[in-house]
Structure 1
């Protein structure tokens, strides 16, 4: 895979990350590293450098709340829970993602066909 393709892949992941994060947090309250593991289970390799700024922005925008939970190893973990505003944002993003993915699927399905 060329460097340009890798950058494009990263851009797609970045675009989907807020929606994915809100969806995962909406399923159950989670802390940052747990979210990374859950994204990994979906087949995405997301770095801490990508997820934590998204979480901070979601918190700043009132789409998630946080609470500290004591950790058996080290400092307390910051757990994230979705808010009503986050649910609305997730639903809107889901609709937008669906429209874009349908357009991409349509273009790929019709690739090489005469469009006259």
Structure 2
């Protein structure tokens, strides 16, 4: 067992919640999601993000629209569906419960 593998698994567990959190703020282009995640020190690669976006879209949690770009191909902007907003609320509740439990066990608050 090594710390890099464990840290990677912990991050993977919260990626969907973080992606939905960014999109919840308003329509998001994938590079905007990546930038927000990097700014929070939660680095994510396109090769990780796109499959997650596809999975969330296929579950009807996300929708998208194409927007013409002046500097290249059209851009796909993602937004939450009503079902996605409900799923987000459930994830948020689960996250808060988990964070509180970890804080109680470790005696540390962030």
Name segments (4+ residues, structure 1) moved above 4 Å: none
Q: Is the 8 A contact 1:69 1:79 kept in 2?
A: yes
Structure 2: distance between partners of 1:70 and 1:7: 40
Report which of the two structures shows the higher radius of gyration computed on alpha carbons.
1
Describe the superposition over 1:21-80 as per-residue Cα deviations: whole angstroms up to 9, x where unpaired.
Answer: 111101010111110001111121111121111100110000010111112222111100
* SS of match in other structure, 1:79: strand
- Give the alignment's Cα RMSD to 1 decimal: 1.5
* SS of match in other structure, 1:30: coil
TM-score, length-normalised on structure 1? Answer: 0.86
Q: Is the 8 A contact 1:14 1:50 kept in 2?
A: no
Q: Partner of 1:78 in structure 2?
A: 76
- Structural mapping, 1:32-71, within 5 Å: 32-71=30-69
> Does residue 25 of structure 2 align to residue 27 of structure 1?
yes
Q: Which runs of 5+ in 2 are unaligned?
A: none
Identify the match of residue 14 of structure 1 among 1, 12, 23. 12
> Does residue 85 of structure 2 align to residue 100 of structure 1?
no
Q: Which runs of 5+ in 1 are unaligned?
A: 111-116
